[in-house]
């Protein structure tokens, strides 16, 4: 078989572990040829690729980022590619394509699959918001980084009797904020799924100070919003890819808390720190299993699917299910923590 692999969208710890696993299973075990497209779908459309053998993936398991490079591609270009899918497949002589990516990538993969390209997707995102899989690799690493940040911020907050607002990633889903907030013992957690109540947050901080605990940490997802009309907030502009450019809810919240409480507040934006660096052991294992199963699915001809974790097992899920809606934090998970405002 000739298998193409690419990484698209925002990077994520564990991408290299998937690439390595695909090569190990396909080249070493099956005797396949594997080619890696550079810079995501751009490399596919421009036929920019290199052969991946065992040496090409040596030593990358623990490395963050992606050895293939990644990019976001405008939808228009992908539609064009889908319209010429037959030609593309013939030109590249592909028996299978394994795109590794988040919601945007899997939507593109679905489009190409519908147009006749034999696709097996692999889901990735630190946000953990892809339906049809219990977990995505990268999430565990991001939660670990954010948890460590909260731990560290608590000691400096306490020394200065401050409120620390830590902004984590999570455009549409609050998984990182929720789990890092719980693991780090944040006193307030704000997520996109529930518009937060600034009054209640202020009340919580006042109560803490009254009890002699003269500091607080609030963990806020970048996509979190205040409840309508409760505090000044302006939405960000929409970029060329249809994504909102966030205006910094962490900063807004810190300013507002300081004003209302008369207590010093600071904000920390973790941003891409959460996406960089070495993946945790959990993410390396999940990424490796996804790569192995993607190759097996290609050999069985189970195209139009993606690898998914259900419980402890890896199964194949239709790409259509994966991209139909985002997996956001359900009510019962919010109810489990008194810190969600
Ligand atoms: O989708 C993953 C993600 O990390 C989001 O949480 C975040 O909003 C976005 O990527 C940032 O993307 P970029 O690297 O393009 O700024």
pLDDT per residue as tens digits for the range 156-167 = 999 999 999 999
Name the residue of 127, 224, 248, 270 to mutate for ligand 1: max ligand atoms within 8 A of Cβ.
Answer: 127
pLDDT band of residue 241 (cuts 50, 70, 90) is: low
Name the residue of 7, 8, 9, 10 to mutate for ligand 1: max ligand atoms within 8 A of Cβ.
Answer: 10
CATH 1.10.167.10 fits 139-275, yes or no: no
Residues 299, 304, 306, 307, CA torsion sign: negative
pTM over 0.90: yes
**Mean of the pLDDT values across residues 265-294?**
97
State how far the Cα of 80 lies from the Cα of 144, in Å rounded to an integer. 40
Q: What is the DSSP letter of 325?
A: S
Q: Give the CA distances from residue 283 to residues 132, 280, 292, in Å, rounded to whole numbers and listed in that order.
A: 18, 5, 14
| Contact of 124 with 101, CB cutoff 8 Å | yes
- Check the annotation: does 185 bind a ligand: no
Does ligand 1 have an atom closer than 6 angstroms to the CB of 125?
yes
pLDDT at 240: 66
| Contact of 8 with 44, CB cutoff 8 Å | no
Question: Which residues, other chains included, contact 307 with Cβ-Cβ below 8 Å and sequence gap of 6+?
Answer: 120, 121, 122, 123, 133, 289, 290, 293, 294, 297, 314, 315, 316, 317
- Ligand 1 atom nearest the C-alpha of 274 is 4
Is 129 tagged catalytic? no
Phi-psi region of 120 (alpha: psi -120 to 50; beta: other; left: phi over 0): beta
Does ligand 1 have an atom closer than 6 angstroms to the CB of 10?
yes
pLDDT of 233 > 90? The answer is no
- Check the annotation: does 73 bind a ligand: yes
Residue nearest to atom 8 of ligand 1 (CA): 171
| Contact of 292 with 21, CB cutoff 8 Å | yes
CATH domain 2-138+279-324 topology:
Rossmann fold (3.40.50)
Does ligand 1 have an atom closer than 6 angstroms to the CB of 129?
no
pLDDT at 75: 75
pLDDT at 90: 87
Annotated active-site residue in 32, 39, 127, 140: 127
Tokens 């690419």 correspond to 6
User: Two tokens at 185?
Assistant: 């013992």
Rg of the chain over all Cα atoms, to the nearest angstrom: 22
CB neighbours (10 Å) of residue 98? Answer: 29
pLDDT of 125 > 90? The answer is yes
Question: Which residues, other chains included, contact 220 with Cβ-Cβ below 8 Å and sequence gap of 6+?
Answer: 165, 166, 167, 168, 177, 188, 189, 190, 196, 249, 250, 253
pLDDT per residue as tens digits for the range 149-207 = 999 999 999 999 999 999 999 999 999 999 999 999 999 999 999 999 999 999 999 99
Does ligand 1 have an atom closer than 6 angstroms to the CB of 171?
yes
Fold agreement between 2-138+279-324 and 139-275: yes
| Contact of 186 with 218, CB cutoff 8 Å | yes
Q: How far is the CA of 241 from the centre of ligand 1 (A)?
A: 12
Domain ranges of the chain: 2-138+279-324, 139-275
Q: How far is the CA of 126 from the centre of ligand 1 (A)?
A: 9
- Ligand 1 atom nearest the C-alpha of 11 is 14
pLDDT per residue as tens digits for the range 297-338 = 999 999 999 999 999 999 999 999 888 889 999 999 999 999
């Amino acid at each position: 078989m000739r298998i193409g692999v690419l990484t698209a969208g925002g990077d994520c710890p564990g991408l290299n572990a998937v690439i390595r696993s695909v090569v190990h299973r396909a080249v070493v075990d099956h005797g396949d040829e594997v080619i890696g497209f550079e810079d995501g779908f751009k490399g596919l459309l421009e036929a920019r690729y290199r052969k991946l053998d065992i040496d090409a993936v040596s030593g990358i398991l623990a490395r963050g980022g992606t050895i293939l490079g990644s990019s976001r591609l405008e939808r228009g270009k992908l539609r064009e590619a889908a319209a010429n899918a037959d030609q593309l497949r013939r030109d590249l002589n592909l028996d299978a394509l394994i795109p590794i990516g988040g919601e945007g990538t899997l939507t593109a993969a679905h489009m190409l699959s519908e147009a006749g390209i034999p696709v097996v997707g692999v889901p990735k995102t630190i946000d953990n918001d892809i339906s049809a899989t219990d977990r995505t690799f990268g999430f565990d690493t991001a939660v670990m980084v954010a948890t460590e940040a909260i731990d560290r911020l608590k000691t400096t907050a306490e020394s200065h009797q401050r409120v620390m607002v830590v902004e984590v990633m999570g455009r549409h889903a609050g998984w990182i904020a929720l789990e890092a907030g719980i693991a780090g013992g944040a006193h307030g957690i704000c997520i996109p799924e529930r518009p937060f109540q600034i009054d209640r947050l202020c009340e919580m901080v006042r109560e803490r100070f009254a009890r002699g605990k003269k500091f607080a940490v609030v963990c806020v997802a970048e996509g979190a919003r205040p409840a309508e009309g409760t505090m000044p907030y302006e939405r960000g502009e929409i970029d060329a890819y249809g994504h909102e450019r966030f205006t910094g809810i962490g900063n807004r919240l810190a300013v507002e808390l300081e004003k209302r409480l008369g207590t010093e507040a600071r904000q920390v934006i973790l941003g891409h720190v959460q996406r960089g660096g070495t993946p945790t052991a959990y993410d390396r294992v999940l990424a490796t299993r996804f790569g192995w199963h993607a190759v097996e699915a290609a050999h069985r001809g189970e195209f139009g699917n993606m690898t998914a974790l259900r419980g402890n097992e890896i199964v194949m899920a239709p790409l259509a299910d994966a991209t139909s809606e985002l997996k956001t934090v359900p009510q019962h998970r919010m109810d489990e923590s008194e810190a969600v405002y």
